[in-house]
Amino acid sequence: MGRHSQHSRTSTRTRTSARALPSRTIVTYALIVVVALAVGLAAFFGLRQLSSRNAAAPAESPSATSAPGDVVSFTPADVGSCLNWSLDDKGQVTSFERADCETPHRFEVASREDLRTYPSSKFADDAPRPDITQQALLRQELCRNAVLQYVDGRLDPSGRFVVSSILPPESKWAEGDRTMLCGVQSNDAAGNILETTGRVAQVDQARTYEPGTCAAIDDASQITAVPCEQPHQLEALSIVDLAKDFPDSQPTVEEQDELLEETCTQAAIDYLGGGEDGEKSLYKSGLQPYWIPLQPESWSGGSHSTNCFLTHATTDSGFSDITGTAKDLPALQLNGEPLPETPAPVTSAPSSDDDTTTAE
């Protein structure tokens, strides 16, 4: 029994081809809920981590502009700027600087706020730097609407970008700098801030995994890429750009299912060697092709890609723990056990006309 049996399914759709290949046997809705929870939690912890890092950095910029009261701001970045930085061995931010948005960066600025006006007494000259709770409140009250306006409403709530903020380092805060940058960033499930390329309103916002990536769903419903030798529930086969098949309209979940059932089954066959060998390996593995259709709010928010995966469904509607990669079936384990023997696939018997001889 997999440890994710608590995720119920509301319906079951199966597809068995003429070649006796298994197909998707778990409903998409269950994992959609998992993904929504995972993204929400990843965003929360990621924002917390950025805020805590800012307590020690970023470093002051020599070209910083003046803030109200002739206090030099920690950064000249303004609306539309993209920022990047590095981390030293101690996890402190270094090389905090503006970057071309078409090159790798970690933050895109949507607004520049002066905390002296919110309200004036709370962030006076002798006020301490906002703690984690205060920063979360500031993001909600000052940043969220600013970001949505900046991207013209195109922000997938389940996508790879989240609303975030950057405060001055402690040294600049002590000097009176009350600048806060609102913007967007992308986090992994561990809270690490990822580099992205391109402006958020112009790129695919879908959170996808490269083929060959194994992903685990933990007890907090976070989906995290892990080494395939560790227990996991999903193995990515391919990334499907749905906009190529639906260039002029938003596809329904049913339309996506119809396309992805065939696409992901073929992706599984190709991933396992292609042709007849791939078909045999898929059947022998007992794994099922699986996908996550995009919901309307994700499509309108700027996402148009999804993954084809391999997974293994349990009889109680959960996910088995998989160890190893489907590309190495002899070493693959389900819930700590070797793959069970699979019965020989059913083949059609030759017709009587084919094996009847005529006596002369």
The DSSP line for 173-236 is HHTT--EEEEEEEEE-TTSPEEPB-S-GGGS-------TT-EEEE-TT--EEEE-TTS-BSEEE
- Split into its structural domains, the chain has a count of 2
Q: Are residues 225 and 181 in the same domain?
A: no
Structure tokens at 124: 């006076």
What pLDDT does 137 receive?
94
Is residue 207 situated within a structural domain? no
Q: Could you give the percent of the chain with pLDDT greater than 70? A: 75
pLDDT tens for each residue of 267-323: 999 999 999 999 999 999 999 999 999 999 999 999 999 999 999 988 887 899 999
What integer best gives the mean pLDDT of the chain? 81
Provide the pLDDT for residue 110.
Answer: 98
Please say which residue of 161, 194, 227 terminates a domain: 194
If asked whether residues 243 and 331 sit together in one domain, one would say yes
306 and 258 in one domain? yes
CA distance 146 to 125: 25
- Single-letter amino acid code for the residue at 191: G
Note whether residue 330 is domain-resident: yes
Residue 301 in any domain: the answer is yes
Cα dist from 131 to 51, 73, 191, 232, whole Å: 8, 20, 18, 35
Low-confidence ranges of the chain (pLDDT < 50): 1-57, 59-63, 357-360
Clarify whether residues 139 and 254 are in a common domain: no
Question: Looking at residue 201, what is its pLDDT?
Answer: 94
At residue 35, the pLDDT reads: 32
Amino acid of residue 188: D
Determine, yes or no, domain membership for 68.
Answer: no
Residue 25 lies in a domain: no
Does any domain span residue 295?
Answer: yes
pLDDT, position 344: 72
Tell me, yes or no, whether 99 and 180 share the same domain. Answer: yes
Element containing residue 258 per DSSP (H, E): helix 253-271
Domain boundary among 166, 194, 222: 194
Residue 253 included in any domain = yes
**Full residue range of the structural domain in which residue 305 is found:** 213-338
Judge if 218 and 334 occupy the same domain.
yes
114 and 217 share one domain: no
* Residues 229 and 121 reside in one and the same domain: no
Helix or strand or coil: residue 284?
helix
> Looking at the structure, do residues 256 and 189 belong to the same domain, yes or no?
no
Note whether 264 and 287 are within 8 A (CB). Answer: no
* DSSP states along 90-145: TS-EEEEEEE-TTS-BSEEEEEEEEGGGSSTTTT-TTPPPP-HHHHHHHIIIIIHH
In a domain, 352, yes or no: no
